[in-house]
Amino acid sequence: MKRTSTTLADGRELIYFDEHDDAVRATVDTRELPPPPPPAQLRYDPLTEEWIAIAAHRQTRTFLPPAAECPLCPAKPEFAGEVPADDYDVVVFENRFPSFSGDSGRCEVVCFSPDHDSSFKDLPVSRVRTVLAALADRTAELSAQPGVEQVFCFENRGVEIGVTLHHPHGQIYAYPYVTPTTRRYLDAARRHREQGKGNLYAELLAGERAAGERVVAANEHWTAFVPYAARWPYEIHLAPHRQVPDLAALTDDERDACAPLWSELTRRLDGLFGLDMPYIAGWHQAPVHADRDLGYLHLRLISSRRAPGKLKYLAGSESAMGAWVNDIAPEQAAAALRAVSL
């Protein structure tokens, strides 16, 4: 893989990840751009002990532009977006409208393909492998930056989820704090260990592999399963059989084995109802500095669609109280996912 780093017209970093060492990509951004916005304000909520980012500049971010004006497509004579090259394999660049920046973290965009009308499930397995390599590269580099406490790589797909660009892409957030969700996971894992037991997620995974009822797919290095207490109508975990803290810690063999399963899961989701499923696919990684021995890398793939034409909305119970109700039994969801013909 060839890695080429450059800067955009306003000073933001852009990195090409090419599958061929002889690839030559344009590195000159000819646009005239205003300077990047100031960093978001971080405000602490003492009632929940959580940090809130106030990023008012994101109100002006690009919102569902026509395909001819997509900023993630390769550059064309009639329109220049965020990528100067007229082609690419995978490209990563600093978000123009970041939630975190400067001394308060960093936000990046990951373009999976130059094809605007494609999606993650359409990528060849070799491209998914390149995406994994890019995410591992960014996880390692962002983790080394001062002030970064956690790195989260994720993809939002579908207007039902809230995407503002249709082009197949993901994002990377380098947080200046450990997120509330991760803190809860780590607290549970710590209590489990203090009771004289092993790693909590490792034991959960071993139980799912032994039971098999909620396993969707597996290979030598990874298992995908619907968790016993799934919150979402369709929720899948993809976890390595070896405990590792983050993507950067995976071996080449583990990344090779992950790529086809990750691709398969997205195709199984779309095959449930024969339509594009909205989803969030997020890599849960250990914090950069604290409790790395408690963390366990895994992908969580969740969809809010519970049936054709029906979405699960986070209404009063979930949004206000955090008390979840799932309309679909996890065993039923796993069986439906396994039954999809690929």
Q: pLDDT by residue (tens digit) across 89-111?
A: 999 999 999 999 999 999 999 99
Q: What CATH topology corresponds to 198-339?
A: HIT family, subunit A (3.30.428)
Residue 264 exposed, middle or buried by CB count within 10 Å (0-12, 13-18, 19+)? buried
- pLDDT of 149 reads 98
Q: pLDDT by residue (tens digit) across 112-152?
A: 999 999 999 999 999 999 999 999 999 999 999 999 999 99
Residue 210 exposed, middle or buried by CB count within 10 Å (0-12, 13-18, 19+)? exposed
Active site residue: 20, 57, 166, 169, which one? Answer: 169
Residues of the binding site for Zn(2+)? 70, 73, 116, 167
b/e burial code for range 42-67 (CB count within 10 A of at least 16 → b): beeeeeeeebebebebbeeeeeebee
What gap in Å lies between CA 342 and CA 264, rounded to an integer? 8
What gap in Å lies between CA 200 and CA 203, rounded to an integer? 5
- pLDDT of 329 reads 98
Active site annotation includes 169: yes
- pLDDT of 310 reads 96
What is the DSSP secondary-structure string of 180-225?
A: HHHHHHHHHHHHHHHTT---HHHHHHHHHHHH-TTEEEE-SSEEEE
What gap in Å lies between CA 229 and CA 59, rounded to an integer? 36
Give the side-chain half-sphere CA count within 13 A for 48. Answer: 14
2-180 architecture in CATH? 2-Layer Sandwich (3.30)
Same fold, 2-180 and 198-339: yes
Between residues 26 and 151, which one has the greater pLDDT? 151
What gap in Å lies between CA 146 and CA 105, rounded to an integer? 9
Of all helices (H) and strands (E), which one includes residue 262?
helix 252-273
**Is the pTM for the entire model greater than 0.85?**
yes
What gap in Å lies between CA 278 and CA 269, rounded to an integer? 9
Residues of the binding site? 70, 73, 116, 167
Maximal CA-CA distance, the chain: 64
Count the Cβ atoms, other than its own, within 10 Å of residue 285. Answer: 25
pLDDT at 27 over 90: no
**Structural domain boundaries in the chain:** 2-180, 198-339
Please give the average per-residue pLDDT across 188-198, as a whole number: 97
Rounded percentage of the chain residues whose pLDDT exceeds 90: 99
- pLDDT of 26 reads 79
> What's the N-to-C CA distance of the chain in angstroms?
29
pLDDT at 316 over 90: yes
- pLDDT of 234 reads 98
What gap in Å lies between CA 132 and CA 198, rounded to an integer? 28
Amino acid at 132: L
Task: Taking each helix axis as running N to C, give the angle between helix 200-211 and helix 180-194, from 0 to 180 degrees, rounded to the nearest 10.
Answer: 80
